[in-house]
Amino acid sequence: MLSGLSTIAQGWARVRDPASTDQKQALKARIRRQLEQHQAVLVAHYYVDADIQDLAEETGGCVSDSLEMARFARDHAAQTLIVAGVRFMGETSKILSPHKRVIMPDLEATCSLDLGCDAAEFTAFCDAHPERTVVVYANTSAAVKARADWMVTSSIGLDIVAHLHAQGKKILWAPDKHLGTYIQEKTGADMLLWQGSCLVHDEFKGLELELLRQEHPEAKVLVHPESPAAVVAQADVVGSTSQLIRAAQTLDATTFIVATDMGLLHKMGQAAPGKYFIAAPTAGNSATCKSCAQCPWMAMNSLQSLADALESGANEITMDADIGRRAVVCIDRMLDFAAQRKANVRPGADLAKEQALFTGIGPA
Ligand code: SF4
């Protein structure tokens, strides 16, 4: 297997001090006023600050995974989108809605997968394997997407690769090696993997998870597939953020061990009241902190940076028109595929049936 050559050595994050309760109230009021004034809609990821998630829902925006964020932002009537998440999410919204204004709380909020997949190195990798269908994860730059045949998110990657495999295609996959390995094992597809990883999920520890499960034998284990294989192997459900929330709501258990960014526990708690969630361990037994699964770049989204960006109009995403035109092709393919799959799911389907969306193998 060839490796990706990029590194994340240039990565850094700037996280503000937490606001007091009074400061939060004042900031929320400022944000509400600005959203109205700009006729803007707030689109937030499950991993950002809980106050921002709540505000998005209270003001008619959305809190979701990156697939639904992209769909929602594209289809909403608002001409100004404020995207609370990381850079590739704002870029995806801009690619899908080039005529809309897309603002982010902090343009330097990035992702280790994006940082670790330099467009020039990735292009050389693709050029070296012209016989392969290029499938990239959403967590990539617009320039990388512009070189891809398909973009996928974690909620639909398995289905799309299974679909391509059934057509006899060989895959070049980037950038997440853990998600790529998981999909490769599930589908049996011939996949050449870029060797990137998420610095949050990469930290989950298989051995410590085993010990935690022994302490909570009744708990179900919910795992995001960006996690290492030793963690994925212990999962009751492997899925995207939305799929893990659905599992928490639907599975017959009251205690869950959750291996993904801790930001998701806010929405899980709201969606499955009365259930108990434990963050999967990222550290050994002797460590002072058992889990620090929190993305430093998602944490750059604060009420303060959101209010400042709306008031100043700064932090607008711009997109090279040619890159945007090429990148939209692979995103539209995924959205069309997702729309087709959704049509195949009966309303009111239970989890087992819905899981067919991401565990089914075969042509669309
Ligand atoms: S949690 Fe991981 S995959 Fe998500 S934005 Fe942060 S670094 Fe990227």
pLDDT at 288: 73
Q: Which residues pair with 45 in a beta bridge?
A: 64
State the average pLDDT over residues 105-128: 97
Q: What are the angstrom distances between the C-alpha of 140 and each of 87, 94, 178, 346?
A: 9, 14, 15, 32
For 21-111+298-319, CATH number out of 1.10.287.620, 3.40.50.10800, 1.10.645.10, 3.40.50.10330 equals: 3.40.50.10800
3-state DSSP call for residue 73? helix
The answer on pLDDT for 360 being more than 50 is: no
162-176 confidence digits (pLDDT tens): 999 999 999 999 999
344-355 confidence digits (pLDDT tens): 433 333 333 344
Question: Of the residues 140, 241, 295, 300, which should be mutated to test ligand 1's pocket, given the most ligand atoms within 8 Å of the CB?
Answer: 295
Q: Which residues pair with 82 in a beta bridge?
A: 42, 103
Distance 201 CA to ligand 1 centre (A): 8
Residue 9 Cα to chain centre, angstroms: 22
* pTM, two decimal places: 0.90
Structure tokens at 156: 């639909």
CATH 3.40.50.10800 residue ranges in the chain? 21-111+298-319, 117-198+322-359, 201-279
Domain 117-198+322-359 has CATH 3.40.50.10800: yes
Average the pLDDT over each of 12-21, 55-64, 96-105, 190-199 and give the range with the smallest value: 12-21
The answer on pLDDT for 362 being more than 70 is: no
Domain 201-279 has CATH 3.40.50.10800: yes
State the average pLDDT over residues 14-37: 91
Q: Which of 7-16, 18-27, 123-132 has the highest mean pLDDT?
A: 123-132
238-293 confidence digits (pLDDT tens): 999 999 999 999 999 999 999 999 999 999 999 999 999 999 999 877 777 777 89
Question: Atom 6 (ligand 1): residue with closest C-alpha?
Answer: 295
Of all residues in the chain, the percent with pLDDT exceeding 70 is: 90
Structure tokens at 226: 């960006």
Distance 115 CA to ligand 1 centre (A): 10
Distance 174 CA to ligand 1 centre (A): 14
